[in-house]
Chain A
Amino acid sequence: MNNHMLEISREYARCYDEYRSYYDVMCAMIDYKKIYTTIKSMGIGKLFIYGASYLGVMLYRALQSSQDVIALVDKKGVSVIDLPEINVIDINKFRSMYIDESVIVTVLRYGNAVLSDLSSFIPMHNIYMLGEIAGATI
């Protein structure tokens, strides 16, 4: 296999995994009841949702009735969907509001960069990745 073919093979495997992860997480997010129960069983109370894209909104919908979501956080403070009933704040406002609440990161593709940013002012034990909420494997 020449280098060109090798790179195609690598890109194929990468994309396959990436889209599969998106698909699996979105499927798991459909079960609002399970998401709500998992969050409660993990002892998570008041929380911020990082990421105001589709997954962030799905998580918000799952937790809407609990009144535990303080705000959705987005780098630019804008959601992909109009959500009049909840604050969508930008990262600067989030920094000023944050005290000791939990944060669930719903950003997947650039998740590591987000985790790195957040860990500069939030203790790691308060940060959860969406996959943890949607269901651990073992």
Chain B
Amino acid sequence: MNILYLGSGGPYSLGVKKKILGQFKALNDAFDTAYLADRHLGVAYLRRDQRRIVDKNLSLTKEDYYRIVIKWIINYNINVIYIRYPFANIFFIEFLENIRPIIDKILIEIPTYPYDDHGLSRDIVIPDLYYRNQIKHYVDFIVTFSGDETIWGIPCIKTHNGVDIDEVPLRNYSAHNGVKLITAASLSSWHGLERVFIGLAEYYTKRDDVSTHVSFDVIGNGDALGQYRTLVSELSISDKVCFLMDMSGNEFDEMFDNADVAIGTLGGYKIGLERFSPIKTAEYCARGVPFIYAYNDERFATDLDFVRRIPNDDSPVDLEAIIHMNELLSIDISLSSRMRSYAVENLSWHKMMEPIIRSI
């Protein structure tokens, strides 16, 4: 049985890129042959294992792209298609209609649901609102991370975001003074980092003698960077917060070596996200860095000592509590390897793709 993973068209953030490749690797291990199709800057690519390009074609529009993909489906004997949701428009619906008779199973993954409040452009939202209700005529399953039983009248396969363990090194930690907080994100307002900044400002202003110094490294770039910088300046904590943009590879990994606590998404409440399974917390776990987050994440039991769930609201992060958490964890020399084992057993993409593969 051959499967095609159909990308939604780049450019993707680094996290999404890793996710697609992690999912593709899991599918590649489960099927006779797995192909990955995607389109970027007017070119459609068909890849096999190790991202080797086996076919390519000029594809200026999505209409071209879908026409090319149908050709590939026929030429490469594809039985199953896994589609990363590209938002619906007329060409997507026509594509589904055309492949339905020649494909055994059609699955669509919706990376974030609901998404109507995510500030998408009108060019995407209006056609999507009109056409998405037609998807149920052609699709077998929706793959969701939201926990919904059905979406648009289509039965859902529920799963979570995972991590490609091989791509994430274990942190090389050495003891040091103070507490180093870290986050890596494509900075948006729903990351809610202002909760940490205000918490930091309160921590430093409430007491005269600060015994434990706390710093915060923010890695990434995005729409909210400007407002975060302004807030840090207004709170007079510029010497405690370091903004690092566009970091990757070894340099990126080394930043986590001496990090004590990583910061997950803290502003889900702004866009109605209560239940969530972001990639980055799975990565923090695989790296062996304890972390905090503010939503319901079924991948992490509430009694795990290396995670802390805080309220999903606009309250400042309680730095005293974070320092206390770090004190308790820093005496455990097996902490990082324990977190790594947890990630291997529970958070790998192979594990997360299991319910999807079973349904096919």
Residues of A within 8 A of B (CB): 6, 9-10, 13-14, 16-18, 21, 24-25, 28, 105, 108-109, 111-112, 115, 129-132, 134-138
Output the nearest chain A residue to B8 by Cβ-Cβ distance.
Answer: A137
**Nearest-Cβ distance from residue A44 to partner chain B, whole angstroms:** 15
A6 surroundings in chain B (CB, below 8 A): 90
A and B contact pairs by CB, cutoff 8 A, 7 listed: A9-B127, A18-B60, A111-B60, A112-B57, A137-B9, A137-B10, A138-B38
A105 surroundings in chain B (CB, below 8 A): 58
B89 surroundings in chain A (CB, below 8 A): 9, 13
Top 3 A-B residue pairs of the complex, sorted by shortest distance between their CB atoms: A137-B10, A137-B40, A131-B41
Output the nearest chain B residue to A132 by Cβ-Cβ distance.
Answer: B43
A108 surroundings in chain B (CB, below 8 A): 42, 58, 60
Output the nearest chain B residue to A127 by Cβ-Cβ distance.
Answer: B56
**Nearest-Cβ distance from residue A129 to partner chain B, whole angstroms:** 5
- Are A129 and B56 closer than 8 Å at their CB atoms? yes
Q: A112-B58, A137-B9 are in contact. Are A16 and B123 (CB under 8 A)?
A: yes
Output the nearest chain A residue to B24 by Cβ-Cβ distance.
Answer: A138
**Nearest-Cβ distance from residue B174 to partner chain A, whole angstroms:** 35
B42 surroundings in chain A (CB, below 8 A): 21, 24-25, 108, 111, 129-131
Our pick among B9, B20, B45 for the contact of A136 (Cβ within 8 Å) is B45
B91 lies within 8 A of chain A by Cβ: yes
A131 surroundings in chain B (CB, below 8 A): 40-43, 58
- Are A132 and B58 closer than 8 Å at their CB atoms? no
- Are B40 and A136 closer than 8 Å at their CB atoms? yes
Complex Cα distance, B17 from A130, in Å, reads: 22
Output the nearest chain A residue to B94 by Cβ-Cβ distance.
Answer: A10
A109 surroundings in chain B (CB, below 8 A): 60
Beyond the given A21-B41, A135-B11, could you list 7 further A-B residue pairs with CB under 8 A, ordered by the A residue number? A6-B90, A16-B123, A18-B61, A21-B60, A135-B41, A138-B36, A138-B47
How many residues of B are in contact with the other chain, CB < 8 A?
Answer: 30
**Nearest-Cβ distance from residue A8 to partner chain B, whole angstroms:** 10
Output the nearest chain B residue to A13 by Cβ-Cβ distance.
Answer: B89
Q: A9-B90, A9-B127 are in contact. Are A137 and B63 (CB under 8 A)?
A: no
Q: Is the interface of A mostly helix, strand, loop or mixed?
A: helix
- Are A25 and B7 closer than 8 Å at their CB atoms? no
Number of A-B contacts (CB under 8 A): 86
**Nearest-Cβ distance from residue B129 to partner chain A, whole angstroms:** 13
- Are A138 and B61 closer than 8 Å at their CB atoms? no
Complex Cα distance, B90 from A10, in Å, reads: 6
B329 lies within 8 A of chain A by Cβ: no
A134 surroundings in chain B (CB, below 8 A): 41
Complex Cα distance, B61 from A111, in Å, reads: 12
- Are A24 and B60 closer than 8 Å at their CB atoms? no
Complex Cα distance, B94 from A10, in Å, reads: 11
**Interface bits B51-78 vs A (CB < 8 Å: 1, else 0):** 1000011101111000000000000000
Q: A21-B42, A138-B38 are in contact. Are A13 and B90 (CB under 8 A)?
A: yes
**Nearest-Cβ distance from residue B24 to partner chain A, whole angstroms:** 9
Output the nearest chain B residue to A135 by Cβ-Cβ distance.
Answer: B41
Q: A9-B90, A136-B45, A138-B17 are in contact. Are A21 and B36 (CB under 8 A)?
A: no
- Are A138 and B20 closer than 8 Å at their CB atoms? yes
**Interface bits B10-47 vs A (CB < 8 Å: 1, else 0):** 11100001001100000000000000101111110101
- Are A138 and B127 closer than 8 Å at their CB atoms? no
Q: A13-B127, A28-B41 are in contact. Are A138 and B51 (CB under 8 A)?
A: yes
- Are B61 and A21 closer than 8 Å at their CB atoms? yes
Complex Cα distance, B39 from A70, in Å, reads: 30
B10 surroundings in chain A (CB, below 8 A): 137-138
Complex Cα distance, B61 from A24, in Å, reads: 12
Complex Cα distance, B90 from A135, in Å, reads: 28
- Are B40 and A135 closer than 8 Å at their CB atoms? yes
Our pick among B38, B58, B123, B127 for the contact of A137 (Cβ within 8 Å) is B38
- Are A137 and B11 closer than 8 Å at their CB atoms? yes
